[in-house]
C-alpha cells in the first residue's frame, strides 16, 4: 500500500507539471509551484468538486496561463471546479457560469459573456458612474 501511495503522489506531481522537482522539499519550491503542489494534493483525494480560492493570486502571467491550462485539464476529467478569483481574465477563460459578488452581495450571475457586459458589474469593477469610491 505504501508503494501505491508513492506512485499516486508521483502521478499527481507529474500531472501538475512538477515532475522535475519531485525530489525537492515543498518549502524550496517557488510560490507558483507551491500552488501547483497544493492542487496536486487536492487531486490525490479524487474529488468530484474542487474549490480553488484565489489560485491566481500572486502569480505572473506565464504562471497564470499554466494554471489555467491545468484547471482546464482538470475540468476535462469531469471534476467540478468552484473558482473564487479576482482575476476576471482568468475567470472568463475558465468559467462556464459566473456569479459576481460585490461587498458580499450578488451583483450578477450568468454565462461569462453575459456577466462581462452586465452594467452593474462594469460599474462596480471599472468605477463607471461611481463617484463615492
Domain 2-86 grouped into CATH 3.40.50.300: yes
Can you give the pLDDT at residue 125?
A: 79
Q: What is the pLDDT of residues 37-74, one digit of tens each?
A: 999 999 999 999 999 999 999 999 999 999 999 999 99
At residue 26, φ and ψ (nearest 5 deg) are -55, -35
Tell whether the model's pLDDT for residue 132 goes beyond 70: no
Q: What is the pLDDT of residues 66-115, one digit of tens each?
A: 999 999 999 999 999 999 998 989 999 999 999 999 999 999 999 999 99
User: What residue spans in the chain does CATH classification 3.40.50.300 cover?
Assistant: 2-86
Give the residue from 75, 93, 90, 1 showing the smallest Cα distance to 39.
75
Amino acid at each position: 500500500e505504501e508503494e501505491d501511495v508513492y506512485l499516486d503522489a508521483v502521478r499527481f506531481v507529474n500531472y501538475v507539471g512538477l515532475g522535475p522537482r519531485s525530489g525537492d522539499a515543498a518549502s524550496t519550491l517557488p510560490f507558483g509551484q507551491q500552488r501547483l503542489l497544493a492542487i496536486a494534493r487536492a487531486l490525490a483525494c479524487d474529488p468530484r468538486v474542487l474549490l480553488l480560492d484565489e489560485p491566481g493570486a500572486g502569480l505572473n502571467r506565464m504562471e497564470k496561463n499554466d494554471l489555467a491550462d491545468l484547471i482546464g485539464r482538470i475540468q476535462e476529467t469531469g471534476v467540478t471546479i468552484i473558482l473564487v478569483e479576482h482575476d476576471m481574465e482568468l475567470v472568463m477563460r475558465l468559467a462556464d457560469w459566473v456569479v459576481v459578488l460585490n461587498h458580499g452581495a450578488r451583483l450578477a450571475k450568468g454565462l461569462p459573456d453575459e456577466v462581462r457586459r452586465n452594467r452593474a458589474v462594469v460599474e462596480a469593477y471599472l468605477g463607471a458612474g461611481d463617484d463615492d469610491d
